[in-house]
Amino acid sequence: MNKIVDVVVVGGGVIGCSVAYCLAKKGVRVIVVEKKEGLSFGASGANQGGCPLQLFESPVLELARESLKLYKNLSEEIGYDIEYENVGSLVCSVDEKQFSDMKKHVQNKRREGINVRLIEGHQLRKLEPTLGEDIVVGVEEWDSWMVNPFKVNYGFAYAARKLGTEFLFSSQVKKIETDKERIASVITDREKIKTNFLVNAAGAWAPEIGKMLGLTIPVRARRGQIIVTEPVPLNERWRYILDADYLTTAFDLAAVEKSKDPRIKLGVAGSYIQEKSGNWTIGSSRDFAGYNNRVTMQTLKYIAKRVIKFVPRLKDISCIRTFAGLRPFCYIDGLPILSKINNPQNFVIATGHAGEGMTLAPITGKLISELITESRTSLSIDAFSFSRFKNIT
Amino acid sequence: MICRCEEITEQEIRDAIRKFDLRTVDEVKRLTRAGMGLCQGRTCTPLLTKIIAEETNKKVSELLPLSKRPPVRPIKIEFLTTEE
Amino acid sequence: MKLWTSKGSAAEGIPTPDELKKTPGWPSLERLQGGPVAIIECIEEIPCDPCESACPAGAIKIGSSVTNLPVLDEDKCTGCGLCISSCPGLAIFVLHLNYTNGSALVSFPFEFVPLPKVGEEVAAVDREGKEVCRGKVIKILNKRKQNRTPVVSISIPKKYVLVVRGISVNKNGSSKQNNSPKGGNNENKMRVLDHPILGRQSPGKTLNITVDGKKIKAREGEMIIAALLNAGIRINRFTSKYKEPRGFFCGIGQCTDCIMTVSGIPNVRTCVTPVEGEMVIETQYGRGEWG
């Protein structure tokens, strides 16, 4: 089957659907090709839906702030409730040695204009009795939010469809035809699509698209595992609880390499979100296992051990499901890649969001659509340009 | 009532399938919460599969089954910490 | 002699008179007049032959192929009834047409509880289970040799001898369900202590468990739901969304309808959780309470 369209977006995750929607809003004809029989089969379908504003730093922080503004009106705009909830976030530490890191964190955030508050352990427990005795100190921040990741993904797709976007499922890109430094058409299992632009939003599989163009896209699949519990009554104050390790070792590849602690080696750092249905999603972990998205008992053991320190009552609650997802992680600097490239000129990369895809989806869609249809983007994306990877083959 | 655990009605499920062009049990689960409850789809999956087959004009055998993940039945978080 | 109508064995599982008359297991009307005789209402050619070896007189023959329909040799048959318990399909009966001047005796396998009592008046039912006349229980045979399939013999008006194939016994206890532990001291109100297939039950020692503040009796080791049902408690929880009552449903720990908060822990499946010590059980409203 032959088709002609303005833009082909590869990937039916939250980034792909957001890009499609923002383009469709501008009147662009878009086809989204997704290799699975449905949306959300990558990281978009395996995340907790939490957006912790206080864990972002420049240059991504600016994007996150814009994303928050867009999220606040998103349900109304697309005509579908994405279950946006302003739950705030509490980063807390079970290690006295992290006290200084926490104080520094508060200073940094205040300087960036984020409203944070340091609260000592005993006060925390008074406000939220479910928190554990081991917690020394916490930093709360009230702009953080959570959404229903599936509803965001399908919501964008639904709105895009209403504006004329076509979705092709079970369509894996097999070949990309170029002509004089431009992409001419995309060939999948079943279609050949002539297009003016190709957006690579394939997440953990983005490098495979790059390979078809002789490009190395420095993204690797970083697995994260999650435990889902049975529903329990909602916490009073904080339903989004994070491990202070996120400020220290979780994202520090060098520290993970050096460490002798098996928990840190598996990248286990607490990320606990209680959905409004009452279920807790208990995460999370970071390890590289190729495209293997199965859970491992070792990692689950350390995730479980960690959560009992933070919310001890959860030890008597049942785990009803576990799953793992593959985050697209840029192994050069951990920042997203939102960029055109030199050759082909009409190839746009929109990936590398790692664990921040859900937070940054609305703004990514907006920026990428501007990159394609206008001369400049409303926010600077120089920090996310592909040209920063100078010496990789 | 199709999903007894999450109390999802047949109408909600059919509406979701029609509105979002859903084709798999996994997708229906994600958008309606049917199959996300305590029994993790044990009671409602056969019913869901049948409804999807009807709505998409396919045979039940042609549909992708619900993705199964550990644990096989609910276990206390405490037991996960002792797993070797 | 009254007959019956049905849509046939293929359509509704109940054979028509013609279907039965064609089988080799039905005796002739003449033989029916001459004392008790077996009547084999077997119409499916399946691999099954216990009736052949059950008959001491050799009056039932399956033959070379195990799927053959059993052939009754009505002259050899003495109507002893040993074959009745042997048929897994419960398809063999013994009819004594001339039991008395007015009544016939029908003997049939009866695998329900409670067993009737000898002399009791019962409702005599047809193959569909519908009452056609009243009958009187004359004999109940429940020997070990019958492998736990009791045989009940009832007297009924002669004309129904080809129609009546079972009875319906009046149940004890009321059908009105209520949720409060009633008769809590009658610990065996609904317990089956002598199961027709599983045999005699020996529950553990009696103890008290508390349900919503009230004490009820339970036996150690049995499932919590058994103690609740015995006390007449049919509602285990109320759902989160629509606040509907839920109770015992699948019984195998799958559907999570029977969950309650037990000793502070919510979402406990009472149908697969045994009673241990003096548990404190509460009706769970929605997600339950923390600790």
Write down the ipTM of this complex.
0.91
Q: C228-278: per-residue pLDDT in tens?
A: 998 888 899 998 888 899 999 998 988 889 999 998 888 889 999 999 888
- In this structure, are residues A243 and A250 in contact, taking their beta carbons and an 8 Å threshold? yes
Which residue positions in chain B have pLDDT lower than 50?
A: none
Can you tell me which residue has the tokens 């662009």?
A28
Q: Which residue of chain C is at minimal alpha-carbon distance from B6?
A: C241
State how far the Cα of A157 lies from the Cα of A161, in Å rounded to an integer.
Answer: 6
Q: How many helices (H) and strands (E) does chain A have?
A: 10, 18
Give the predicted TM-score (pTM) of the model: 0.74
Question: How far from the centroid of its chain's Cα atoms is residue B71's Cα?
Answer: 16
State how far the Cα of A149 lies from the Cα of A275, in Å rounded to an integer.
Answer: 11
B5 touches chain C (CB under 8 A): yes
- In this structure, are residues C142 and C182 in contact, taking their beta carbons and an 8 Å threshold? no
Q: Cis link prior to B71 (omega < 30° from 0)?
A: yes
- Confidence (pLDDT) at C188: 67
- In this structure, are residues C190 and C218 in contact, taking their beta carbons and an 8 Å threshold? no
Question: How far from the centroid of its chain's Cα atoms is residue A159's Cα?
Answer: 21
Higher pLDDT, A248 or C182: A248
- In this structure, are residues A303 and A268 in contact, taking their beta carbons and an 8 Å threshold? yes
* Token pair for C49: 């032959």
C244 touches chain B (CB under 8 A): yes
> How close C266 comes to chain A (CA, Å)?
8
Mean per-residue pLDDT for C203-229?
88
- In this structure, are residues A183 and A347 in contact, taking their beta carbons and an 8 Å threshold? yes
Helix (H/G/I), strand (E/B), else coil: C239: coil
Alpha-helix residue ranges (DSSP H) falling in chain A: 14-25, 60-78, 99-111, 121-127, 149-162, 206-212, 253-258, 262-265, 297-310, 357-373
- Confidence (pLDDT) at C178: 38
Pairing mode, strands A183-188 and A173-178: antiparallel
B:56-75 residues touching chain A, CB 8 A cutoff: 64, 69-71, 74-75
Burial class for C84, CB neighbours closer than 10 Å (0-12, 13-18, 19+): buried
B:8-67 residues touching chain C, CB 8 A cutoff: 37-39, 42-43
> How close C231 comes to chain B (CA, Å)?
25
Amino acid at C118: V
DSSP A154-215: HHHHHHHHHTT-EEE-S--EEEEEESSSSEEEEEESS-EEEEEEEEE--GGGHHHHHHHTT-
Pairing mode, strands C280-282 and C206-211: parallel
Confidence of residue C290 (pLDDT cuts 50, 70, 90): low
Confidence of residue C171 (pLDDT cuts 50, 70, 90): low
C:219-258 residues touching chain A, CB 8 A cutoff: 240
Q: Which of A320, A322, A358 to mutate to test the interface with B (most CBs of B within 10 A)?
A: A320
Q: Which residue of chain C is at minimal alpha-carbon distance from A312?
A: C291
Burial class for A382, CB neighbours closer than 10 Å (0-12, 13-18, 19+): exposed
Question: How far from the centroid of its chain's Cα atoms is residue A318's Cα?
Answer: 27
> How close B58 comes to chain C (CA, Å)?
27
* Token pair for C91: 């398809």
Positive or negative: CA dihedral A259, A260, A266, A271: negative
Helix (H/G/I), strand (E/B), else coil: A20: helix
State how far the Cα of C247 lies from the Cα of C228, in Å rounded to an integer.
Answer: 10
Which residue positions in chain A have pLDDT lower than 70?
A: 391-393
Q: How far is CA A311 from CA A99, A263, A270, A356, in A?
A: 19, 18, 10, 24
**Cβ neighbours of residue A341 closer than 8 Å, sequence gap 6 or more:** A215, A347, A349, A386, A387
> How close B40 comes to chain A (CA, Å)?
7
State how far the Cα of C271 lies from the Cα of C281, in Å rounded to an integer.
Answer: 13
Question: How far from the centroid of its chain's Cα atoms is residue A147's Cα?
Answer: 12
Report the mean per-residue pLDDT for chain C.
Answer: 86
Task: For residue A15, count other CB atoms closer than 10 A to its CB.
Answer: 35
Confidence of residue C184 (pLDDT cuts 50, 70, 90): very low
* Chain A contact set for C291 (CB, 8 A): 313, 316
- Is there a contact between A233 and C240 if contact means CB atoms under 8 Å apart? no
State how far the Cα of A183 lies from the Cα of C272, in Å rounded to an integer.
Answer: 62
Q: How far is CA C94 from CA C83, C179, C229, in A?
A: 9, 45, 38
Residue A286 DSSP label: -
Alpha-helix residue ranges (DSSP H) falling in C68-200: none
Mean per-residue pLDDT for C35-39?
94
Can you tell me which residue has the tokens 């049905």?
C6
pLDDT > 80? residue C130: yes
End-to-end CA distance of chain C: 70
